[in-house]
């Protein structure tokens, strides 16, 4: 056994006395058996089911139809800022790496034109924005004046609720305390810091170097300026990452005490994402170490008092996410877990995703094409998927598992007029191994995830996915 692949040691990596998870080898064997990559289900179907035959015309029709019958669903708004000053080798996001900050000028002009086009298509269908998120790339690539102009411009086009949840992703290397104060003055009340790992060797291997002290200064400033929720992102499975090094990273994060933690697993796909080709396969943790990294993180965060929300997320018990989960009010959308009810989403910018009603669409992924199409007064949508009744049914089942950890068959009988056990006989069969392992309970009235089963909520949800993760013979029975 490699010196870096250490057996779990409760002295080095203490778990709480009342932990819900076993501290012997059972958890590692379960993770090895059941944990597998799959969609994060911020939507269902996922974006890879979109086709180019469904495009701008369908999106126009969906926007116009938002007002039919006088009903207006809440509105969520996403803006994609693709620019970064330097490339992080692990990154799989749609980005443009440049140090030329004047490149943002034309892009901001196109964002304004796109927003106006959407507003003209659905002039009476723009209910107040209850959730606004800026991602990328690096949104804080924009300077303070550009951020001010962008936010004020969007508020002139879209009505914002007075209690709108406004969040932004921040690369700690691009801001200081004064910039955080500026973001707060613009109305942002939630902030997410991309940390990934604090170990110097790991940071060098992924080309993202930042100190603990600098991040600590920013988190303290964010609290001082009144941000309602502060999130930190980590990634497990990065090159040069070991149990010892990641334990130290977890120590630092626990000391920083963010309100929420997102812990993502690194997916090494160098054939799809060019920057990942700079990561050497030999530097990556092996499968056994990845399992132990995840296990250690879960137990350490629970020991520190965080509640496991599901998928990749932890929150302090008093955080609205944790409260919503306890009360059965948790939702999931393109921003991940949220307390916001289901809403239509308008995405602005290159590669941005929109979901209006049962229509899912995505903008073109190349910046020159996006700027050209918007510049010519055309919507930039290039592919989409029109959801069916079966999609809605499966979406409801997947979200019930991901958010509430249980499915009540009677709810589906009332909402969809189906016999759930009969309609989903194959899926319930696929869940049997999880039941045999003590990860969920199958009964005559429904399905319920056990405490331990929350670790495997993604592969359980995949059992209801008609598009992915199934042998072809099984998929043919579902379509």
Residues 167, 291 within the same domain: yes
Q: Cα(425)–Cα(422) distance, rounded to whole angstroms?
A: 5
The token duo for 239 is 């090159």
Average pLDDT value for residue range 350-354: 96
Residue 189 lies in a domain: yes
C-beta separation of 299 from 15 below 8 A: yes
Q: Which domain holds residue 58?
A: 47-345
67 vs 152, residue with greater confidence: 152
Residue 40 lies in a domain: no
Residues 339, 224 within the same domain: yes
Q: Cα(207)–Cα(279) distance, rounded to whole angstroms?
A: 10
* DSSP calls for 422-446: HHTHHHHHHTHHHHHTTSEEE-SSE
Average pLDDT value for residue range 75-103: 91
C-beta separation of 406 from 446 below 8 A: yes
Neighbours of 280 (CB within 10 A): 10
Residues 405, 334 within the same domain: no
Residue 66 lies in a domain: yes
Q: Cα(400)–Cα(76) distance, rounded to whole angstroms?
A: 21
Residues 408, 273 within the same domain: no
**Which three-class secondary structure state does DSSP give residue 319?**
coil
Q: What is the pLDDT of residues 214-243, one digit of tens each?
A: 999 999 999 999 999 999 999 999 999 999
pLDDT at res. 90: 92
Residues 338, 201 within the same domain: yes
pLDDT at res. 295: 83
pLDDT over 60 at 413, yes or no: yes
Average pLDDT value for residue range 109-119: 96
CATH code of the domain containing 397: 1.10.10.920
Q: Cα(288)–Cα(295) distance, rounded to whole angstroms?
A: 11
What is the tally of structural domains in the chain? 2
pLDDT at res. 291: 80
Residue 352 lies in a domain: no
Q: Cα(394)–Cα(412) distance, rounded to whole angstroms?
A: 10
Q: What is the pLDDT of residues 170-223, one digit of tens each?
A: 999 999 999 999 999 999 999 999 999 999 999 999 999 999 999 999 999 999
pLDDT over 90 at 166, yes or no: yes
Q: Is the peptide bond before 322 cis (omega within 30 degrees of 0)?
A: no
pLDDT at res. 7: 29
**Tokens 């009988």 belong to which residue?**
413
Residues 297, 186 within the same domain: yes
Residues 336, 443 within the same domain: no
Residues 336, 209 within the same domain: yes
Q: What is the pLDDT of residues 286-332, one digit of tens each?
A: 888 888 898 899 889 999 999 988 888 999 999 999 998 888 888 88
C-beta separation of 236 from 265 below 8 A: yes
Q: Using only the alpha carbons of the chain, give its radius of gyration.
A: 22
pLDDT over 50 at 150, yes or no: yes
How many residues are present in the chain? Answer: 479
CATH code of the domain containing 325: 3.80.30.20
Residues 427, 330 within the same domain: no
Pairing of the two strands 313-315 and 331-333: unpaired
Least confident segment among 57-61, 85-89, 90-94: 90-94
pLDDT at res. 68: 66
Which of 321, 345, 369 is the last residue in one of the domains?
A: 345
Which of 345, 375, 399 is the last residue in one of the domains?
A: 345
Residues 334, 399 within the same domain: no
pLDDT over 90 at 25, yes or no: no
Residue 5 lies in a domain: no
Predicted TM-score (pTM) of the model is 0.87
Residues 329, 438 within the same domain: no
Distances (CA, A) of 234 to 85, 195, 352: 20, 6, 23
Residues 294, 152 within the same domain: yes
Residue 150 lies in a domain: yes
Which of 284, 313, 345 is the last residue in one of the domains?
A: 345
Average pLDDT, the chain: 87
pLDDT at res. 340: 78
Residue 210 lies in a domain: yes
Q: What is the pLDDT of residues 115-135, one digit of tens each?
A: 999 999 987 667 889 999 999
Residue 73 lies in a domain: yes
Confidence category of residue 479, pLDDT binned at 50, 70, 90: very low
């Amino acid at each position: 056994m490699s010196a870096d692949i250490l057996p779990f040691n409760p002295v080095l990596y203490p778990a709480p006395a009342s932990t819900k998870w076993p501290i012997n080898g059972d958890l590692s064997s379960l993770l090895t058996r059941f944990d597998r990559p799959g969609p994060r289900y911020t939507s269902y179907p996922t974006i890879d089911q979109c086709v180019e035959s469904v495009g701008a015309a369908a999106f126009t029709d969906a926007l116009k139809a938002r007002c039919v019958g006088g009903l207006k669903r809440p509105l969520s708004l996403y803006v994609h800022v693709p620019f970064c000053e330097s490339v992080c080798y692990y990154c799989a996001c749609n980005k443009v790496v440049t140090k030329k900050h004047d490149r943002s000028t034309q892009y901001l002009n196109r964002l304004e034109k796109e927003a106006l086009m959407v507003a003209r298509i659905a002039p009476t269908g723009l209910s107040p924005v209850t959730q606004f998120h800026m991602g990328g790339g690096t949104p804080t690539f924009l300077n303070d004046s550009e951020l001010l102009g962008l936010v004020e411009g969007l508020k002139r086009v879209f009505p914002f609720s007075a209690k709108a949840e406004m969040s932004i992703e921040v690369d700690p290397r691009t801001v200081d305390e004064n910039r955080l104060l500026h973001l707060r003055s613009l109305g942002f009340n939630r902030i997410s810091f991309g940390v990934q790992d604090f170990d110097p060797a790991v940071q060098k291997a992924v080309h993202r170097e930042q100190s603990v002290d600098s991040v600590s200064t920013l988190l303290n400033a964010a609290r001082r300026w009144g941000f309602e929720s502060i999130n930190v992102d980590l990634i497990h499975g990065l090159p040069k990452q070991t149990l010892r090094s990641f334990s130290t990273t977890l120590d630092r994060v626990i000391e920083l005490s963010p309100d929420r933690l997102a812990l993502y697993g690194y997916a090494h796909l160098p054939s799809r994402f060019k920057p990942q080709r700079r990561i050497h396969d030999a530097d990556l943790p092996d499968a056994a170490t990845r399992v132990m990294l995840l296990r250690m993180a879960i137990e350490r965060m629970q020991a520190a008092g965080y509640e496991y929300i599901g998928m990749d997320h932890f929150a302090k018990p008093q955080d609205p996410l944790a409260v919503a989960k306890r009360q059965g009010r948790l939702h999931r959308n393109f921003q991940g877990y949220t307390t916001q009810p289901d809403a239509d989403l308008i995405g602005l910018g290159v590669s941005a995703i929109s979901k209006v009603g049962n229509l899912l669409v995505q903008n073109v992924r190349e910046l020159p094409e996006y700027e050209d199409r918007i510049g010519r007064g055309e919507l930039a949508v290039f592919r989409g998927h029109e959801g069916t009744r079966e999609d809605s049914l499966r979406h409801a089942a997947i979200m019930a598992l991901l958010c509430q950890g249980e499915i009540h068959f009677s709810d589906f009988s009332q909402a969809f007029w189906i016999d759930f056990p009969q309609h989903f006989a194959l899926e319930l069969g696929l869940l049997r191994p999880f039941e045999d392992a003590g990860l969920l309970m199958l009964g005559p009235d429904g399905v319920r995830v056990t405490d331990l089963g929350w670790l495997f909520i993604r592969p359980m949800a995949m059992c209801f996915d008609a598009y992915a993760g199934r042998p072809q013979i099984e998929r043919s029975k579902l379509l």
